[in-house]
Amino acid sequence: MPGGLKVDELLMIPGPVPLHSRVLKAMVKPMINHRGDEFGEIMDYCIAQLKDIFATKNDLFLISGSGTAGMEAAIANFVDGKIVTINNGKFGARLGLIAERYCETEKLEFEWGSSIDLEMVEKALANGAEAVALVHNETSTGILNPAKEIAELARKYDALTIMDGITSIGGDDVQVDAWGVDVAIVGSQKCLGAPPGLAAVSVSERAWDRYTGKSPYYLDLNAYRKSVGKTPTQTPYTPAIPLFYAMYEALKIIEEEGLENRIARHRRLSEGCRAAMEAMGLDLFPELNEYSQYSNTITAVKMPDGVSDGDLRGKVRKMFGITIAGGQDHLKGKIFRIGNMGNVSYKELLNTIAAVEFVLYKLRAISGYGDGVKAALEVYER
């Protein structure tokens, strides 16, 4: 395999995630007419299931593009004046970079891994912002941001809420309508357990009232709205058909598991991972306040003193065939991250914890071996 990648390598990163065999098999089906009834039925099912997962009755569209395409579509289609973007990690920063291409942007910047100050958000909104954009689950730092509270503030000042739910929707409790989120985005390769390459975007009527008509041609969500209204249901441009096959099967798996069960599984996996890291004497990276929480789809941990990124992640991959994530940008070498998104089971998590614990023990970064696995098992057995 290219780059020495092993076929049986386990990905425990914040996406792409390991794929169920049913999802893999779905992608080798023959091509079909993307304007025909069969594709329309696939679209109808995917849209209906995703609306349930988003907890929304709003319009919902599938774009052949990554989550970043969804982020750009959300901002470009619905913000013409001033937007406030919230940055306490890599992807909050990305929202700001996208926004400044289209409109006046006020960037609220916090230390990566620190909690959002809601008073600062309210002050920014009170200064005439038309919208606020935030990342619900910031995988770069392992923190879950207060989307509900920020959406409430936005409504107070008649601003739209644009929420990157790319790594929370389908793996954590997300209530788009109940929270008052106007535009929400998810990526296919995260909690949904599908391959990379699709983004789903939900849009409220409040957002449509502020439609700009100034988005990139391919990301014009009004074109998607018109195509979804056709019979059979379509996309405005040629879709990545194999990815839609895969999304259909991934959503079938979610339906079979049950969304509540899926969310509970993600939460227990992340709780077990956090318990294991703490039992090893390691420090979790995020700094929480009363409004923030630890992520339920990834665990970010401070790198032990004297241990390099290559020492830990390199040896875990070489010795055990398990890939975990490192830090991004200025956090490179300072943290490591373990993902538990999609269809990951406790078996994969325990294997990963055992591998990390063994390597750290051999590097003499921790004093003993077995406490982490034991702590994770105690969570599992509750």
The Cα 151–Cα 204 span in angstroms is 13
For the chain, list the strands marked E by DSSP: 10-12, 59-64, 82-87, 104-109, 131-135, 137-138, 143-144, 160-164, 183-187, 198-203, 293-294, 298-302, 322-326, 335-339
Each residue of 228-265: pLDDT tens digit?
A: 999 999 999 999 999 999 999 999 999 999 999 999 99
> Quick check: 323 and 10 in contact, CB under 8 A?
yes
User: HSE (CB half, 13 Å, CA atoms) of 125?
Assistant: 22
The total of other beta-carbon atoms located within 10 Å of residue 298's CB is 30
Structure tokens belonging to residue 181: 């989120």
The Cα 367–Cα 49 span in angstroms is 48
Cis peptide leading into residue 286 (ω within 30°): no
Q: Which DSSP category does 130 fall into? A: S
> Quick check: 135 and 106 in contact, CB under 8 A?
no
User: Exposure pattern of 76-102 as b/e (b: 16+ CB <10 Å)?
Assistant: bbbbbebbbbbbbbbbbbbbbebbeeb
CA 179-100-104 angle, 5° bins: 80
The segments of the chain whose pLDDT lies below 70 read: 1-7
CA 357-362-365 angle, 5° bins: 70
The 3-state DSSP class for residue 113 equals coil
The Cα 380–Cα 382 span in angstroms is 6
What angle do the packed helices 90-99 and 67-78 form, to 10 degrees?
40
What was the pLDDT predicted at 382?
84
Residue 170 Ramachandran class (φ > 0 left, ψ -120 to 50 alpha, else beta): left
pTM above 0.85, yes or no: yes
Q: Could you give phi then psi for residue 18, rounded to 5 degrees?
A: -60, 140
The 3-state DSSP class for residue 140 equals coil
What was the pLDDT predicted at 25?
98
What was the pLDDT predicted at 5?
42
The Cα 273–Cα 271 span in angstroms is 5
Each residue of 25-65: pLDDT tens digit?
A: 999 999 999 999 999 999 999 999 999 999 999 999 999 99
Structure tokens belonging to residue 94: 């990305």
> 295: which residues sit within 8 A by CB, 6+ positions away?
137, 138, 139, 142, 143, 144, 167, 270, 286
The Cα 256–Cα 263 span in angstroms is 13
What was the pLDDT predicted at 290?
95
> Quick check: 269 and 346 in contact, CB under 8 A?
yes
> Quick check: 124 and 151 in contact, CB under 8 A?
no
The Cα 342–Cα 10 span in angstroms is 13
What was the pLDDT predicted at 8?
73
Domains of the chain: 2-16+259-380 (3.90.1150.10), 21-256 (3.40.640.10)
Closest CA to 217 of 187, 244, 237: 237
